[in-house]
Amino acid sequence: MTGAGGVAETYDLALDPGRSTLDTAVRVAGLAEAARIDALFTADLLRFGAQGAIGSQEPLVFVSALSQVTSRIGLIATVSTTFHHPYNLARLFGTLDHVSNGRAAWNLVTSSLGEENFGPGGLPGPEDRYARAAETLEVVNALWDSWDADALSRGPDGRAVLHPERVHPIDHTGRFFDVAGPLNIPPLPQGRPVQIQAGQSEAGRALGARYAEVVFTSLPTLDIALDFTRAIRAEAGRLGRPGGLPLIFSSFHATYGATEEEALRAVRARREAIDFDRGRAQVADMLGGIEPTALAELPLDAPIPESLLPDVRSVHRRRGRVDIFARYVREGYTLRELVIAAQDTGHWAAAGTPEQLADAVEERFRAGVLDVISLQGLADPRQHEFVVDGLLHELRRRGIVADDYSGTTLRENLGLPVPVPRARRIAPTG
């Protein structure tokens, strides 16, 4: 865990859409907590179809249910700022923090899909989405800070006593929102839920540098991870934030084997099953939605001409992913190699024995570009053995992952301090 100078682990609760029941999630949550994994991570997709999950659960409702059958594991819910109001977000996540006794975390996204379900109007441009996200965070944090820590006390009869003078309006007037405040729920166990931000475009990096405690990123290679981490922490430093923030959170698409050859066989089998015609369309999507016909006649073993790359400023959705795949094109990847890379949608992927995969994790940890890692596979008995008895056991043996929870809140387990409320303006006297 990061608090002990190591890597924290989350479990990606991406359940089989046909089996996304609470019973399944409860079983997986129990396995994750027994393995002393730090948090459960829930993504969110807001449409039906190819780029939206069938059976995708609403994250906040889902993890709230899981809070009642777990006691130590953190609960990360992905929620969009584009389609939610900050006062509701402050209440929802504040309530989750209360009902979980301090285990809530918000993975903030600005969304690249689903606007057809939140009309009228289409998806706002990236600049507007990130401006709205920044204002949302300002409002939400002000609402969470609107109660002094001692605004409630216990009276002689044991009942709670409210001190109204210690509860403050926020009187926010902005471009997107007018919110008077204060929040109508008491101070939170963690002060604020842990704030995670997903996004690595230029605008996403700026938002993360200013506000995020943890940044969830797609960093498929060590070089890309180094470039991203140096850039976002340099920007955070210029903004006066403490060193080491934000923490870097990477998903890890691991292919396990009892031997290296077994793992590589699984990789080869997956690659042999690739539909390369469909793969061309995936690459077109990864490059910002260029016309798939532009790739239709290109030989698989030839590089893509750089002339096909879009100006990233013209890309409306997932600019960070476009940056990654455009970099691959400039490095001379063939179309075949890009199709293969697109199967992991730009995420970090590795194959090998648990010990070899631990080497890959340790390399990034020692390079200072990995603080939190997302794992999958606990529900399958053989994968569970590879993850818990293999990879996690090896990382704990090396001192990279802690053996047990270090506290009762997610903040404590991630080594994050309780935020200090911003100073409030004092009205002049006389």
Phi-psi region of 73 (alpha: psi -120 to 50; beta: other; left: phi over 0): beta
CA dist 335 and 308 (Å) reads 12
Q: What is the pLDDT of residue 430?
A: 37
290 within 8 A of 255, measured Cβ to Cβ = no
CA distance 339 to 147: 52
> Residues with Cβ < 8 Å from 351, sequence gap 6 or more?
254, 255, 256, 257, 263, 264, 266, 267, 357
Write the CB contacts of 272 (distance below 8 Å, at least 6 apart in sequence). none
Q: Which residues pair with 372 in a beta bridge?
A: 8, 249
pLDDT at 291: 79
Question: What is residue 268's predicted lDDT score, i.e. its pLDDT?
Answer: 96
Q: 221: which 2 tokens?
A: 């290679």
pLDDT at 14: 62
Distance, CA of 392 to CA of 252 (rounded, Å) = 13
DSSP string, 229-273: HHHHHHHHHHTTPPTT-SEEEEEEEEEE-SSHHHHHHHHHHHHHT
- d(C-alpha 221, C-alpha 333), whole Å: 14
Chain position carrying tokens 């100006």? 311
Residue 2, pLDDT score: 40
Q: How far is residue 81's CA from residue 136's CA, in Å, rounded to a whole number?
A: 7
Please name the amino acid found at residue 61.
V
- DSSP labels, 305-327: PGGGPPPGGG--S-HHHHHHHHH
Question: Which residue in 229, 245, 342, 331 sits closest to 284, CA to CA?
Answer: 342
> 105 forms bridges with which residues in the sheet?
76, 194
Q: Is the peptide bond before 421 cis (omega within 30 degrees of 0)?
A: no
* Distance separating alpha carbons of residues 268 and 210, to the nearest angstrom: 42
The two most distant CA atoms of the chain are separated, in Å, by 81
* CA distance linking residue 355 with residue 27, whole number of Å: 27
* Pairing of β 172-173 and β 178-179: antiparallel
pLDDT at residue 358, rounded to an integer: 98
Specify the pairing of strand 194-198 against strand 178-179.
unpaired
Assess whether the previous peptide bond of 310 is cis (omega < 30° from 0). Answer: no
Does the predicted TM-score (pTM) go above 0.85?
yes
Of 106, 98, 101, whose CA–CA distance to 71 is shortest?
101
Cα–Cα distance list, 188 to 71, 136, 145, 197, 248 (Å) = 17, 18, 9, 20, 25
- pLDDT lower than 70: segments of the chain: 1-5, 14-20, 47-56, 112, 114-117, 312, 314-317, 422-430
User: 182 preceded by cis ω (within 30°)?
Assistant: yes
Q: What percentage of the chain has pLDDT greater than the value 90?
A: 63
Q: What is the pLDDT of residue 121?
A: 75
In the chain, the N- to C-terminal Cα span, in Å, equals 52
Instruction: Tell whether the torsion through CA atoms of 371, 372, 377 and 378 is positive or negative.
Output: positive
DSSP code, position 149: T
36 contacts 1 by C-beta, under 8 angstroms: no
Instruction: Give CA 297 to chain center in angstroms.
Output: 37
- Cα–Cα distance list, 138 to 169, 415, 426 (Å): 14, 23, 19
Say how far apart CA 365 and CA 344 lie, in whole Å. Answer: 21
